[in-house]
């Protein structure tokens, strides 16, 4: 797995507002069997940012959203399936998490 640091959030190819899939082909790894991990943070006020290298020291992010996206180029191995879909297919999974805050 490779974490992809970014200044902003990964923009979906259909421009949906929740930053969910589908994602553009350029966001996927160029080699098969590799996973790229992206993270998008949304503050409770709605501001979005990409990589956050330092955890907040207060509760300013409490109840915000973290959207983690896993993108993989999956290599197909059987000739029958390759005949239908090609050598590989792009797989994407994302999950939204609510930021809990400090106790």
Q: How far apart are CA 65 and CA 71, in angstroms?
A: 19
Percent of the chain exceeding pLDDT 90 equals: 34
Evaluate if residue 59 carries a pLDDT over 90.
no
Q: Give the structural domain span for 15.
A: 2-98
Domain assignment present for residue 103? The answer is no
Domain assignment present for residue 69? The answer is yes
User: What would the two tokens of residue 10 be?
Assistant: 């990964």
Contact 41, 63 (CB under 8 A): no
Evaluate if residue 55 carries a pLDDT over 80.
no
Mean pLDDT of 17-44: 89
pTM value is: 0.81
Contact 42, 62 (CB under 8 A): no
Domain assignment present for residue 76? The answer is yes
Structurally, the chain folds into a number of domains equal to 1
User: What would the two tokens of residue 17 be?
Assistant: 């507002």
User: Residue with structure tokens 């082909």?
Assistant: 25
User: Residue with structure tokens 């020291």?
Assistant: 57
Q: How far apart are CA 77 and CA 2, in angstroms?
A: 23
């Amino acid at each position: 797995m490779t974490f992809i640091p970014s200044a902003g959030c990964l923009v979906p190819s259909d421009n949906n507002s929740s930053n969910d899939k589908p994602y553009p082909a350029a966001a996927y790894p160029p080699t098969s069997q590799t996973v790229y991990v992206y993270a998008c943070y949304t503050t409770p006020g709605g501001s979005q940012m990409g990589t956050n290298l330092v955890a907040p020291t207060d509760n300013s992010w409490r109840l915000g959203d973290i959207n983690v996206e896993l993108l993989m180029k999956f290599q197909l191995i059987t000739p029958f399936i390759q005949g239908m879909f090609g050598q590989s297919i792009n797989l994407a999974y994302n999950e939204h998490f609510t930021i809990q805050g400090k106790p």
